[in-house]
Each structure stands twice: as C-alpha cells, then as structure tokens.
Chain A
Amino acid sequence: NAGVTQTPKFRVLKTGQSMTLLCAQDMNHEYMYWYRQDPGMGLRLIHYSVGEGTTAKGEVPDGYNVSRLKKQNFLLGLESAAPSQTSVYFCASSYLERSYNEQFFGPGTRLTVL
C-alpha cells in the first residue's frame, strides 16, 4: 500500500494563478482532511470530507475549495493564489472521524506564492 500520496511535492505560483493539489489514499478510508502548516503555528485544518461527494469547512477555509468526487481522492483548489497561501499543505485520511490514532498523513506539498 502506498498510503497517502500527494502531488505535486513542490510548486511555485504567481499571485492570481490557480492550481489544484491532489491527495490520494489506497486504504479505503472514509474521512479525508487538508491541513496547512506554517512556521511556528502547527497544523490548521482547511477543509475535510466525511465521504465521497461531501465536504465541509475547517478552521481556515477562505481562499480554498475542495472536491471529493471519488472516495480515494481529495482535491484542494486555489482559484486565485495569494502570498498568504505560501505554506506546506498536508493531506490526511482516517477510517473513522475520531480515529485520530489512525489518521495517516501524506508527505506534504510545499507551495510558494510570489
């Protein structure tokens, strides 16, 4: 099993550009999450999904959109990138919503917005 994978690993955008980050998991998990990690601030939840076709807002959802068209994939979109969105983005998945001891994280995507 590959676990949780993220593409791309690195990306540099100009302000106003758009892009989509892809997260894929092969563990048949129902729940998927997108976090951002900024220096000195730990991880913050952007959006999450409790199943195929469903999404919900997390702590810092503004400027981002998500889609969960297939159970194994969770996409994070930036429609008009801003320098404040420079961060490392982590995707995670879990079988149950509260099984945090079994929440698996991907390796991260480092995004720089100029």
Chain B
Amino acid sequence: GESVGLHLPTLSVQEGDNSIINCAYSNSASDYFIWYKQESGKGPQFIIDIRSNMDKRQGQRVTVLLNKTVKHLSLQIAATQPGDSAVYFCAEIRSNDYKLSFGAGTTVTVRA
C-alpha cells in the first residue's frame, strides 16, 4: 500500500475560515516532507516543506505541523480564500532513495 496518504479526499471550507488538511505516513525513515498545491489543469506547485528535525514551520498564511510520534503531517491555511481552491498533496522523501512519494491528494473547495 501507499506510505503517504491523506485522511480525507475532499474538504469544503467557508471563505475566511481556517483549513486543516491532514496526511499520514508510515515510513519512519522519511526525513523530509513537502506540501504541494495543484490547481485545475496545472502542475503541482510547491507550498512549504519541513524536515524531520522540526515539528512546525510557518509560511505566508500556511503552517505545516509534523508529529513524528504518530507519523502525522498537517497543513493549516489561515483565512482561506477562493484562490486556495485546489488539490493539496503531501509528499515524503525517504532518506535511502531521495525520491518523492506522493499521497493521493485532498480537494479543497472554498465556499463564498
């Protein structure tokens, strides 16, 4: 089975609310994680990353949290906007091969 996955395939959020997208991974050897955003008809776009020696990292309106104890990763988007509507993927890099392994994705829809 896949080693990286998202808890929910879809998420509907009211504009202005905060969004939380979850991801579980199973490979304890993973040492680097990335969140991507993919808008309809486009390729994935890097949002934010985090290394396994950190448990939190913040960017512009986004925060990634890493809980290595339960192998859980989350992406928080503050004050969700219509432009945040997209599919969000988490990805892991295993220290033994340095190749990206993607989860299935969560489709976020922002309601006006």
Contact = CB atoms under 8 A, between A and B. Distances in A.
Interface of A: 4, 40-45, 48, 58-59, 90, 92, 97-98, 100-103, 105-108
Contacts of A41: 2, 104
A44 B105 CA distance: 13
Nearest to B42: A107
Interface of A is mostly: mixed
Contacts of A58: 99
A101 B89 contact: no
7 contacts: A42-B91, A43-B44, A45-B99, A100-B93, A102-B46, A105-B45, A107-B41
A90 B99 CA distance: 15
Nearest to A103: B46
Contact of B89 (A4, A42, A98): A42
Interface of B: 2, 4, 9, 32, 34, 41-46, 49, 89, 91, 93, 98-105
Contacts, number: 56
Contact of B43 (A40, A101, A108): A108
Contact of A105 (B2, B43, B105): B43
Nearest to B93: A100
A4 B91 CA distance: 21
Contacts of B41: 107-108
A102 B47 CA distance: 10
> Considering residues A58, A59, A92, A103, which has the most beta carbons from chain B within 10 angstroms of its beta carbon?
A103
